[in-house]
Amino acid sequence: MQTFTIEKTVLINAPINIVFEALTNSEQIIKYYLLNEVVSDWQVGSTIVCKGSNEGKNFTDDGIIDILIPNHQFQYSYWSDNHGTEKILDNYLTISYILAENDHGTIVNLKHSNLKSEAMYSLMIDVWDYLLNSLKNFVESQTF
């Protein structure tokens, strides 16, 4: 079966530690992503559960943190009841954020992989533009 991968990059005018904290802090995530709750103890191998709603329908993303390297990389694999797939390992998607500093702030490289359909890929391309812009606006509005 063919799968699809999205790769996006955004420059955020903020220190790398502030950006990493925004990506790995449950209370901050719900302020810029379309989620109502994020629950995790933020350790490699631990669960991460994200709850939200989309067009009036509640959804839950159940995941596992794969990589958590402070101020460098955060990666998790997850399954969402919003994607219309069976909850088996083959249907888990992976989201990876790799951060790097430059003279203007922090570069965030996003990779969303194992998307199962071209339709989901096309939808998520636009969703990620919105989400990364929300992350950027949230972080840049913070005082640091």
Q: Specify the pLDDT at position 144.
A: 62
Domain 4-140 falls under CATH 3.40.30.10: no
Q: What is the pLDDT of residues 84-111, one digit of tens each?
A: 889 999 999 999 999 999 999 999 999 9
pTM: 0.94
Q: Is 89 in a helix, a strand, or coil?
A: helix
Q: How far apart are CA 27 and CA 34, in angstroms?
A: 13
Q: What is the pLDDT of residues 113-142, one digit of tens each?
A: 999 999 999 999 999 999 999 999 999 998
Q: Is 97 in a helix, a strand, or coil?
A: strand
